Structure 1
Amino acid sequence: MPDKRVVLSGASGLIGRALAESLTADGVEVIRLVRHAPAGPGEVEWDPGRTRLDPAVLAGAAAVVNLNGASIGRFPWTSRYRHELVWSRIHPTQTLARALRVLGDDAPHFVSSSAVGYYPPDAAGQRFDEQGDRGDAFLSDLCGEWESAAQTAGDRVALLRTAPVVHRDGVLKPLMLLTKLGLSGPIGRGTQVWPYISLDDEVAAIRHIIDRGITGPVNLSGPTRATANDLGFALAVAMNRPYVLRAPVFALKAVLGADAVQALLTVDTHVVPAVLEETGFTFRHPTVEAAVTAAL
């Protein structure tokens, strides 16, 4: 994509920074939508949910990539923070979709974030490809609203159902602290299936989707089934620390809140990246052990 331009919202986040660096390294012009006065020609100020975005900012781009959203890893999920989780996703998506609709048939490919939280959080023994049913938990409803907002942009919309990213600043951040202190071990029973993806594969998958013009939901999740124990033990081995102390679910719920624990820690959902595999994507880190090694 050396002669193309990509408009990126959420460029300051973990995935956004890595994607912008990857595109820029290959000569792709990246226009960042920012919420402060522009620091240079590669930035455009916007105020999603409050003012309209000029469609001319998006016109002629190869893709518009929407990565906005407050972190779901912040606890507890109070009523106020739940509102922030919703607002930070829905309003930027609606603002972008509104501008893209104005461009009509000339609108760029819209690549918009969602998450594997779309699927039921407690679905032991089931596999979910992109045609899988939506769950009825808080995150499932949020993802459903998020995707519905994106789909109002038109027909050329890809929905990134991203798994927790195995990275020092991603899902590993709290786990690394516990492991360093020698306090890591099974969360609950530990055998629940956890979706995951490495940061390198996340970025490569987004670029794959843009390059091939893929639309519809796409699961961005590693291809090899992994449990919470698989990830935790791989991290303990990499850090040369023990993995023995079991964390009781009732205690986690008392501290973090029942919904957050169900959505993030005791989630048991086997998500398969069917669309990526069917369209020829090759994972650099196809196992959670490889993802942990790459992250460290």
Structure 2
Amino acid sequence: MRVLIAGASGLIGRELSAQLGVAGHDVVRLVRRDVTGPGEIRWDPAALSLDPTALDGVDAVVNLSGASLARLPWTPGYRKEILNSRVQATHTLVDALRHSQNPPSVLLNGSAVGVYGDRPGQTVDETSTPGTDFLANVVVAWERETERAPDATRVVLLRTGLVLAKGGALKPLLPITRLGVSGPLGAGTQHWPWVSLPDEAAAIVHLLTSTLRGPVNIVGPTPATANDVMSVLARDLNRPFKIPVPAKILTLLLQDAARQLLLADQNVSAKLLQSDGFIFKHETAASAVEWMLRQP
């Protein structure tokens, strides 16, 4: 397949490009700078600009474009960037799809399990209602942009969890763990919907040729709490896991990012993806953390 990727230079985009290449697919990257080769197409999502002819001969579009949620804190200005970067990129791509004479057969659009909000005591799946906090509202607006896609294009919403990789969700927590001052974040019993980076990319490759459409949760198959993840991280780095950080302190320092990323309880089901035949390489958070720490 010829696959056009927005956000190819990001953490997931790089891994996805590598896996697509190994599988024999042809990768084309959307870039915001001057084009330097035949495998690149220029676009300007902030100006809602992409020539529809760029989609000629493209079989699938994967949209991973969006400002990182791991950049902390979420200042008022950065909250706008989190929202606008996602909505504008998706709007631009869908417009190009609508004006293409032969639109690609599939759009795999980035999304996040943050859509569910804080759900203590529940297991949520793709049929669960959205939450009402900032991140949930961002995801709702983000996903809504795909509703204008042409009928000929199958749309999948990649509701991704916390990606375990050195540049991923744990990036802000690695330094304090290495310093030996990590411990439970709040109660530490809140579920974290984790997924390893290789499994995230492999799931996207799988969904290219699946018949699934609409939201699909991309999270690891075995639930894990914040303590499960952080204690394994500390253990594998030969550091103690003893110093708790009260929820009040985290919230004071990071505000919404603490409440919605670190303290939210989200036990998210991966059963839909598994029932479609996807097999995870990392079935537990511990194996994903161990893999992560082996990477250069």
Query: Which of the five TM-score ranges fits, normalised by the shorter chain?
Result: over 0.9
The one-letter code sitting in structure 1 at the alignment partner of 2:155 is: V
Aligned counterpart, 1:15: 12
Match of 2:3 among 6, 28, 35: 6
- Show CA shifts across 1:138-173 (max 9, x none): 000000000000221134110000001011111221
Aligned counterpart, 2:42: 45
2:185 is aligned with 1:187: yes
2:145 is aligned with 1:132: no
Aligned counterpart, 2:169: 171
Q: In structure 1, how many angstroms separate the alpha carbons of the residues matched to 2:215 and 2:38?
A: 32
The one-letter code sitting in structure 2 at the alignment partner of 1:152 is: R
- 1:106 offset after TM fit, Å? 4.0
Aligned counterpart, 2:56: 59
SS for the counterpart of 2:173 is: helix
Q: In structure 2, how many angstroms separate the alpha carbons of the residues matched to 1:49 and 1:154?
A: 22
* Unmatched runs of 5 consecutive residues or more in structure 1: none
SS for the counterpart of 1:247 is: coil
- 1:244 offset after TM fit, Å? 0.4
Q: Which aligned pairs between 1:65-80 and structure 2 lie closer than 5 A?
A: 65-80=62-77
**Contact 1:101/1:107, CA 8 A, preserved across alignment:** no
* Unmatched runs of 5 consecutive residues or more in structure 2: none
2:96 is aligned with 1:99: yes
- 1:105 offset after TM fit, Å? 6.7
Q: In structure 2, how many angstroms separate the alpha carbons of the residues matched to 1:56 and 1:139?
A: 34
**Contact 1:130/1:217, CA 8 A, preserved across alignment:** yes
**Contact 1:9/1:34, CA 8 A, preserved across alignment:** yes
Match of 1:118 among 92, 115, 120: 115
Aligned counterpart, 1:222: 220
SS for the counterpart of 2:249 is: helix
SS for the counterpart of 2:126 is: coil
- 1:25 offset after TM fit, Å? 2.3
Q: In structure 2, how many angstroms separate the alpha carbons of the residues matched to 1:55 and 1:109?
A: 15
Could you list the runs of 4 or more consecutive aligned residues of structure 1 that deviate by over 4 angstroms after TM superposition?
none
2:252 is aligned with 1:254: yes
SS for the counterpart of 1:172 is: coil
Aligned counterpart, 2:144: 148
Q: Give identity over the alignment, percent.
A: 47
- Show CA shifts across 1:180-235 (max 9, x none): 10011000110011100000100110001002242110000011110000000110
